[in-house]
Amino acid sequence: MEIDITWAREELANFLNLTDLYRRPSPPGIVVVTSQRSNRGSQEEIIASAHVVEQILDRVLPEWRTSVDKTGNTRINRWSQHREAAQRADAALARDAEVRERLGDNAPRLSAGTMHPWVWNGARALWQSGHFREAVTAAARQVNAETQNKVGRRDLSETKLFQNAFSQSPAKENEPRLRLMEDDGGDTFRSVHRGAMAFAEGCYAGIRNPNSHEVSPAELPEHEALEQLAAFSVLARWVDTATVVHAATTQPSA
């Protein structure tokens, strides 16, 4: 889903107005000399606005919590980092179409927030703190756990779990299968499930395991981590939409 730019910019503008700093006027007949400034909005209004703005920032500037300087939160005002991030996000939204056209980059963009919920919910907290490698690993664990839940297996995990779930052999007692299409005995059925099994093995053997055992202090580049999340999102969507087939039933259950 594309972001509603008009709505997002209105929310950012409202937040910037509420957090604007100004000197309160002196009461009538009293002259108060002070350098202290206050936010225009109440803390209740600002907090309510920040709840929405943070979600906009997560979409427009996913790394804002680590890339935008937050020292002003203690030196100037507790909302300084949010204000700078909101200003950057507003500029990005206002000029996005123009910049992409001028730079000749009209390729579609991939947002982590639009990936399958199992993946993004698992990765979100670590991703937003800049721990991209660990975020991918957390997403892989979440997909594994949700697959275990769907087929009711706790004795298998990761590669072995998917090999068993997508096996083309008929379901056995305590070994249900995931079916992406009806088994009509055709080549397409065999190809689809062989591919799903191989893809899952690649995700865990080629992505999850190296990330879990990586000893290098270098963080995984964000664009590479995003590509890896996308791979697990494909797998998650397949599992989520698959039908569970049990040995004891003649009709598949959703």
Per-residue pLDDT of 197-206, as tens digits, reads 999 999 999 9
List Cα–Cα distances, 7 to 2, 10, 52, in angstroms.
Answer: 12, 5, 11
- pLDDT band with cut points at 50, 70 and 90 for residue 147: very high
**pLDDT tens digits, residue range 2-20?**
678 889 999 999 999 999 9
What local confidence, expressed as pLDDT, does residue 5 receive? Answer: 86
List Cα–Cα distances, 15 to 60, 70, 92, in angstroms.
Answer: 16, 17, 16
Asked if the model's pLDDT at residue 253 lies above 60, the reply is no
The amino acid occupying position 224 is: E
What local confidence, expressed as pLDDT, does residue 188 receive? Answer: 95
Let me know: does 136 contact 123? Beta carbons within 8 Å: yes
Q: Report the alpha-carbon distance of residue 147 to residue 141 in Å, rounded.
A: 10
Of the ranges 102-106, 124-128, 193-197, which is most confident?
193-197
Q: Report the alpha-carbon distance of residue 126 to residue 136 in Å, rounded.
A: 9
Q: Report the alpha-carbon distance of residue 239 to residue 242 in Å, rounded.
A: 5
How far from chain centre, in Å, is Cα 243? 26
The overall average pLDDT reported for the chain is 87
* Percent of all residues in the chain with a pLDDT value above 70, rounded to a whole number: 86
> How many CA atoms, within 13 angstroms, populate the side-chain half-sphere of residue 222?
14
- pLDDT band with cut points at 50, 70 and 90 for residue 101: low
Average of per-residue pLDDT across 132-160: 95
**pTM for the structure as a whole:** 0.63
**pLDDT tens digits, residue range 209-232?**
988 876 555 788 888 999 999 999
What local confidence, expressed as pLDDT, does residue 219 receive? Answer: 82
What tokens were used for 154?
Answer: 């706790």
What local confidence, expressed as pLDDT, does residue 45 receive? Answer: 95
Asked if the model's pLDDT at residue 32 lies above 60, the reply is no
